[in-house]
Structure 1
Amino acid sequence: MSRIDESKEFVPVRIAVMTVSDTRTPEDDKSGNTLVDRLEGAGHILADRMILQDERDQIANQLRLWCANPEIDVILTTGGTGLTGRDVTVEAHRDVYEKEIEAFGTVFTIVSMNKIGTSAVQSRATGGVAQGTYLFALPGSPGACKDAWDEILSLQLDYRHRPCNFVEIFPRLDEHQRRK
Structure 2
Amino acid sequence: MTSQPHPDAPGMMVTCAVVTVSDTRTPETDKSGQIIQALLANAHHVVGAYAIIKDEPNQIQQRLASLSQKVNIDAVIFNGGTGIAPRDTTYDAIEKLLEKTLPGFGELFRFLSYQEIGSRAIASRAVAGVYQNKLIFSLPGSSNAVRLGMEKLILPELTHLVSQLRKSS
Tell me the TM-score normalised to structure 1 length: 0.88
- The one-letter amino acid paired with 2:166 is P
Do the aligned partners of 2:74 and 2:162 also contact (CA within 8 Å) in 1?
no
Structure of larger gyration radius: 1
Do the aligned partners of 1:60 and 1:95 also contact (CA within 8 Å) in 2?
no
Residue 96 of structure 1 aligns to a residue whose secondary structure is coil
Do the aligned partners of 2:135 and 2:162 also contact (CA within 8 Å) in 1?
no
Give 1:108's aligned residue: 109
Query: Hey, what's the Cα distance between the residues in 2 that align with 1:94 and 1:8?
Result: 29
Give 2:35's aligned residue: 34
Give 2:48's aligned residue: 47
Matches within 5 A, 1:14-163: 14-158=15-159
Give 1:169's aligned residue: 164
Q: How many residues align?
A: 168
Query: Hey, what's the Cα distance between the residues in 1 that align with 2:8 and 2:96?
Result: 39
Query: Hey, what's the Cα distance between the residues in 2 that align with 1:99 and 1:80?
Result: 21
- Give the 3 Å change call, closer, same or farther, for CA 118–61 of structure 1 in structure 2: same
Q: Which deviates the most, 90-99 or 40-49?
A: 90-99
Give 2:11's aligned residue: 10
How many angstroms does 1:168 deviate by?
A: 2.6
- Give the 3 Å change call, closer, same or farther, for CA 70–110 of structure 1 in structure 2: same
- How high is the sequence identity, in percent, across the aligned residues? 35
Do the aligned partners of 1:100 and 1:129 also contact (CA within 8 Å) in 2?
yes
How many angstroms does 1:34 deviate by?
A: 0.6
How many angstroms does 1:151 deviate by?
A: 0.4
Residue-by-residue CA offset, 1:4-58 (whole Å, 9 max, x unaligned): 9889522000000000000000110000001001001100000100000010011
- Give the 3 Å change call, closer, same or farther, for CA 94–173 of structure 1 in structure 2: farther
Do the aligned partners of 2:80 and 2:142 also contact (CA within 8 Å) in 1?
yes
Structure 1 residue ranges (4+ consecutive) displaced by more than 6 angstroms after TM superposition: 4-7
- Give the 3 Å change call, closer, same or farther, for CA 21–3 of structure 1 in structure 2: same
Structure 1: 5+ residue runs without aligned partners? Answer: 159-164, 175-180
Residue-by-residue CA offset, 1:55-85 (whole Å, 9 max, x unaligned): 0011101101101111100000000000100
Structure 2: 5+ residue runs without aligned partners? Answer: none
- Give the 3 Å change call, closer, same or farther, for CA 104–151 of structure 1 in structure 2: same
Residue-by-residue CA offset, 1:82-127 (whole Å, 9 max, x unaligned): 0100000001112321111111100111111111111111100000
- The one-letter amino acid paired with 1:101 is L
- The one-letter amino acid paired with 2:161 is F
